[in-house]
């Protein structure tokens, strides 16, 4: 029997853990079965996807269904079933597990759905079909049984010991078997990564626990009780294979990674040990030089971050871990409604410590459209979370997921949401559709300017005196809307030009504009080695003589050729003159962009830019990340008069 397991991932770099677990479970059941995995992206042309599936000539096709791919799966079913009439078509996953009978009624091409965890049920189903029998006793299965041509009493077809239910659906019956008595034991499941594959430049997913200690009503994890854990030593074997296959970013799909502190510490200990083992094998001086830096991405609950966690993470190797924490809201009536026990004020300093002192990248999430949170309440949540200055602040929108508490109570909460996946909220009792559209524009601006990491210093200076970052992003987004900029694609330089145009429209003083120009130019140099700086970013300091400016340009040329600068950059000593020239840039700024934020008001009010000494920086463009080095004033002293 030839079994094809199909995943349509949101992006090419993603991988699907579920079909790998199912492949391993099927192999364990019968080594005679031929099992093929096919992964696609939802951005692939469906005609090509359908062709690849058809050419496999499978006996069974199983789709892994989620909100981001169910539309494509339905289209593929309609294309494939007529040309593969003898094949069995199955689906599983959260998008089909909560209303399986309705899904089968709406998609007559489907033969069955496995609800919930399928590692134990799927092999039993394939075994039944391989033996030519009907799957009466396969747990978690909802399946279609075509009516026989010769009418027979249904009682003569259904086994006497069958305890499920059924429904007549046109020319077929839909049977709903009983759920499994117990969920799978993670430690008895086979390793999902035993088969060699190339995971270079891909996200690899692992799971060391199933379940969640919380009962958040917007999440389908609230429909399951209890948490099961994977033995850390079994995780070690999985991790070794992932590293051997080239995976370097390991994303834990555990709903709350720090639900049990002892287990989480053990898992991270294993990760660190294996990452250091990989480092020793690579024989590189540093991870960054070899490109072998493994990183763990863990989703944690802020409420569970205590002193032990801070001490543990403080000692974790730099760059080896990043954290995602769902705040969702800071509005207490909203938190009460969605059953999210949280006191953000009680742990925001811990998150700030982890990011800004321990240098651990932090990703914080907010959800717009939750019950009882209107525009003003959400703006307050945004500003409170933004105050932490996380590496990434995701402004997401409520998805009314099937089976969730929000879904069951959507009418009571006044939630109007899209009838099509991903079921995004359209309006609530507190937010109009106009509000939702305005928030989508803010989300777009936030991604382009803040989360992209391309405007770090510009935003740091611009937002320092803003009473509400939310209102800044809102005003900027509305300016974009007025200029019709959302209709176009913009490269980073274009985004910077748009930001400058917006700042000019605010009517600031010439001194303030001069400061903004300096910090934007600094971020411009961090984008790439500039061939030519745009006119609007070139230094224009009132009161500074042309002779002084000429002298600064001469000093810049002398600094570029100063051999002492190579000593500042690790690994640059071996570059020849041409390589060094192509890999570096030297530039002066009339404000201390990286350390002079506290002086911004004095500089603007007293017009001190004209008499300020320039601050010189060396920019280095080799490697994955741009680097910059503040140069000692003695290397670039100027003795020209400034008037």
Q: How far apart are CA 231 and CA 225, in angstroms?
A: 20
Task: Please tell me the predicted confidence (pLDDT) of residue 199.
Answer: 96
Q: How far apart are CA 44 and CA 41, in angstroms?
A: 5
Task: Please tell me the predicted confidence (pLDDT) of residue 600.
Answer: 62
Domain identity same for 253 and 111: no
Burial class from Cβ neighbours inside 10 Å (0-12, 13-18, 19+) for residue 394 reads: middle
Does the pTM surpass 0.85? The reply is yes
- DSSP secondary structure of 269-325: HHHHHHHHHHHHHHT-SSHHHHT---EEEEEE-GGG--HHHHHHHHTSPTTSEEEEE
Domain identity same for 203 and 168: no
Domain identity same for 28 and 146: yes
- Which of the pair, 324 or 154, is modelled with greater confidence? 324
Task: Please tell me the predicted confidence (pLDDT) of residue 612.
Answer: 67
Lowest mean pLDDT across 36-40, 356-360, 558-562: 558-562
Lowest mean pLDDT across 160-169, 374-383, 435-444, 565-574: 565-574
In this prediction, residues 374-398 reach a mean pLDDT of 97
Highest mean pLDDT among 19-23, 145-149, 609-613: 19-23
In this prediction, residues 431-460 reach a mean pLDDT of 97
Per-residue tokens: 383: 């500003």
User: In percent, how much of the chain has pLDDT > 90?
Assistant: 77
> Using one digit for the tens of pLDDT, what is the confidence trace for 273-300?
999 999 888 764 444 444 558 999 999 9
CATH number for the domain harbouring residue 296: 3.80.30.20
Task: Please tell me the predicted confidence (pLDDT) of residue 557.
Answer: 80
Domain identity same for 131 and 19: yes
**Domain, as residue range, for 623:** 544-636
170 Cβ neighbours under 8 A, 6+ residues apart: 108
Task: Please tell me the predicted confidence (pLDDT) of residue 150.
Answer: 57
Is the residue at 492 inside a domain? no
Domain identity same for 207 and 112: no
Is the residue at 418 inside a domain? no
Residue 44: band (very low, low, confident or very high) from pLDDT cuts 50, 70, 90: very high
610 Cβ neighbours under 8 A, 6+ residues apart: 541, 542, 543, 544, 642, 643
> What's the domain count of the chain?
3
Residue 221 pLDDT greater than 50, yes or no: yes
Task: Please tell me the predicted confidence (pLDDT) of residue 611.
Answer: 58
One-letter-per-residue 3-state SS of 521-576 = HHHHHHHCCCCCCCHHHCCCCCCCCHHHHHHHHHHHHHHHCCHHHHHHCCCCCCCC
- DSSP secondary structure of 49-104: HHHHHHHT--SEEEEE--TTTHHHHHHHHHHHTTT-TTSEEEEESTTTSSSHHHHH
Residue 411: band (very low, low, confident or very high) from pLDDT cuts 50, 70, 90: very high
Is the residue at 428 inside a domain? no
Mean pLDDT value across the chain: 91
Domain identity same for 39 and 71: yes
Domain end residue (candidates: 348, 377, 397): 397
Residue 471 pLDDT greater than 90, yes or no: yes
Domain identity same for 172 and 205: no
Domain end residue (candidates: 381, 397, 413): 397
Domain identity same for 343 and 246: yes
Domain identity same for 338 and 300: yes
Task: Please tell me the predicted confidence (pLDDT) of residue 525.
Answer: 95
Domain identity same for 26 and 138: yes
Is the residue at 152 inside a domain? yes
In this prediction, residues 187-196 reach a mean pLDDT of 97
Is the residue at 288 inside a domain? yes
Task: Please tell me the predicted confidence (pLDDT) of residue 546.
Answer: 66
In this prediction, residues 266-278 reach a mean pLDDT of 96
Is the residue at 578 inside a domain? yes
- Which of the pair, 87 or 611, is modelled with greater confidence? 87
CATH number for the domain harbouring residue 77: 3.40.50.280
Domain identity same for 116 and 244: no
Is the residue at 146 inside a domain? yes
User: In percent, how much of the chain has pLDDT > 70?
Assistant: 92
Domain identity same for 327 and 392: yes
Which residue is associated with the tokens 């009680």? 346
> Using one digit for the tens of pLDDT, what is the confidence trace for 60-105?
999 999 999 999 999 999 999 999 999 999 999 999 999 999 999 9
Is the residue at 496 inside a domain? no
Give long-range contacts, CB 8 A cutoff, 24+ apart: 27-35. 27/190, 27/194, 28/123, 28/190, 29/123, 29/124, 29/126, 29/127, 30/123, 30/126, 30/127, 30/130, 32/1, 33/1, 33/2, 33/3, 33/126, 33/130, 34/1, 34/2, 34/3, 35/3, 35/5
Domain end residue (candidates: 367, 397, 427): 397
């Amino acid at each position: 029997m030839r079994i094809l397991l199909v995943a349509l991932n949101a992006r090419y770099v993603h991988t699907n853990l579920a079909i790998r677990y199912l492949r391993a479970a099927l192999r364990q059941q019968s080594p005679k079965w031929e099992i093929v995995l096919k992964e696609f992206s939802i951005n692939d042309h469906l005609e090509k996807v359908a062709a690849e599936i058809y050419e496999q000539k499978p006996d069974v096709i199983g789709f892994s269904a989620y909100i981001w791919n169910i539309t494509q799966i339905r289209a593929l079913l309609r294309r494939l079933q007529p040309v593969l009439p003898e094949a069995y078509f199955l689906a599983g996953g959260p998008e089909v597990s909560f209303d399986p009978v309705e899904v089968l009624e709406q998609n007559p091409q489907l033969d069955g759905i496995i609800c919930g965890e399928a590692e134990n049920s799927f092999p039993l189903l394939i075994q039944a079909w391989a033996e030519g029998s009907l799957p009466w006793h396969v747990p978690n299965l909802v399946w279609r049984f075509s009516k026989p041509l010769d009418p027979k009493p249904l009682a003569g077809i259904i086994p006497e010991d069958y305890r499920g239910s059924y429904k007549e659906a046109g020319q077929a019956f839909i049977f709903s078997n009983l759920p499994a008595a117990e969920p799978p034991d993670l430690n008895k499941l086979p390793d999902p990564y035993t088969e060699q594959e190339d995971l270079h430049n891909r996200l690899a997913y692992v799971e060391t626990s199933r379940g969640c200690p919380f009962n958040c009503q917007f999440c389908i994890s609230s429909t399951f009780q209890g948490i099961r854990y994977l033995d850390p030593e079994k995780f070690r074997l999985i991790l070794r294979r992932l590293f051997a296959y080239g995976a370097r970013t390991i994303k834990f799909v555990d709903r709350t990674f720090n639900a049990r502190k002892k287990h989480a510490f053990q898992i991270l200990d294993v990760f660190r040990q294996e990452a250091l083992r990989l480092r020793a094998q690579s024989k590189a001086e540093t991870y960054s030089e070899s490109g072998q830096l493994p990183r763990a991405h863990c989703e944690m609950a802020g409420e569970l971050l205590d002193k032990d966690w801070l001490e543990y993470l403080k000692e974790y190797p730099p760059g080896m871990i990043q954290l995602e924490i769902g705040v969702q809201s800071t509005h207490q009536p909203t938190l009460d409604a969605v059953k999210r026990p949280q006191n953000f004020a009680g742990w925001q300093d811990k998150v700030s410590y982890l990011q800004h002192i321990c240098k651990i990248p932090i990703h914080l999430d907010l959800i717009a459209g939750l019950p009882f949170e209107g525009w003003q309440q959400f703006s307050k949540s945004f500003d409170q979370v933004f105050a932490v200055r996380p590496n990434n602040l995701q402004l997401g929108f409520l998805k009314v997921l099937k089976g969730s508490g929000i879904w069951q109570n959507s009418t009571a909460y006044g939630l109007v949401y899209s009838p099509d996946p991903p079921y995004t909220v359209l309006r609530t009792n507190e937010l109009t559709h106009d509000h939702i559209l305005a928030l989508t524009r803010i989300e777009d601006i936030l991604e382009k300017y803040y989360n992209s990491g391309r405007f770090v210093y510009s935003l740091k200076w611009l937002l320092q005196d803003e009473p509400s970052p939310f209102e800044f992003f809102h005003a900027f987004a509305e300016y974009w809307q007025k200029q019709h900029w959302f209709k176009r694609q913009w490269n980073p330089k274009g985004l910077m030009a748009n930001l400058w145009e917006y700042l000019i429209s605010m009517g600031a003083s010439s001194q303030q504009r001069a400061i903004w120009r300096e910090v934007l130019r600094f971020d411009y140099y961090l984008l790439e080695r500039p061939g030519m700086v745009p006119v609007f970013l070139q230094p224009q300091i009132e009161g500074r003589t042309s002779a002084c400016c000429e002298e600064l340009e001469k000093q810049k040329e002398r600094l570029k050729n100063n051999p002492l600068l190579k000593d500042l950059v690790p690994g640059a000593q071996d570059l020849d003159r041409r390589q060094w020239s192509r890999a570096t840039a030297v530039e002066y700024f009339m404000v201390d962009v990286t350390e002079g934020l506290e002086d911004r008001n004095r500089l603007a009010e007293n017009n001190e830019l004209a008499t300020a000494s320039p601050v010189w920086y060396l920019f280095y463009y080799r490697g994955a990340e741009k680097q910059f080095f503040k140069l000692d004033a003695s290397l670039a002293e100027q003795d020209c008069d400034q008037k």
